[in-house]
Chains A and B, each alone.
Chain A
Amino acid sequence: MADNLAADYSDRAIHSEFVRPFPIARRALAVIAAWLAPGAGHLVLGRYWRGLVFFMVIFGSFCFGLALHGKLFWPEAAEPPSFLHYDLITVLWSFAQVGSGLCYLGAYALGVGTTAHPEATTFDYGNTFMFLAGLLNYLVIHDAFDVAQGRKR
């Protein structure tokens, strides 16, 4: 499987003269910036257009989710109490949303989306788009790390 995958991508392999890992401080800065603001990691690494596209898509998804009455989740105590203490689904939901970094923290600080509106017909759609924003940003953080390591252009 791994051999086939490598063969499939062999024509796209980056030649060694192009592989230039960034300094460790810039790598760390890129990953932290990528989490805080979607696309900022790519801006730090000089991939301006890609960073701008990621910012527009992820920030747009998050704002769209908020506009559709999505809620910011945080792990809640299980009801009735269980050995896990926390309600597992709220742990997963909050993990997905926290991936969007300052979008999540900023909305929380501003008090936007902190109360649930299950009566709204778009409530579930809103939540889904906010999960999407966070989960896509995890992929973008990973991509920024790969670029910083010199594995990708």
Chain B
Amino acid sequence: MHLLMMFFYATATAIVFSAIDPKPVTLKERFIHGLKVFGWFMGVGLSISVVLFPLPW
């Protein structure tokens, strides 16, 4: 459940971030930029969860 919500959250954020970023010009560049943002959100989220999992509080 949590992973699914994280997926939706990262998707929505990646779409908006890739659309407002001025650096990508072509649609392909925007798509790649969106994929990178999505990957970072998911990667960092999963990394934090792995780090926090063994903590007792």
Contact = CB atoms under 8 A, between A and B. Distances in A.
Given A12-B25, A125-B5, A60 B19 contact: no
A12 B22 contact: yes
Interface footprint category on B: 10 to 19
A153 B19 CA distance: 11
Main secondary structure of the interface of A (DSSP, over half): helix
B32 interface: no
Contact of A136 (B12, B22, B25): B12
Interface in A9-57: 9, 12, 50, 53-54, 57
A97 interface: no
Contacts of B9: 128-129, 132
A54 B18 CA distance: 11
Nearest to B9: A132
A143 interface: yes
A53 B19 contact: yes
Interface of B: 1, 5, 8-9, 12-13, 15-16, 19-20, 22-23, 25
Interface of A: 8-9, 12, 50, 53-54, 57-58, 60-61, 64, 121, 125, 128-129, 132, 136, 139-140, 142-143, 152-153
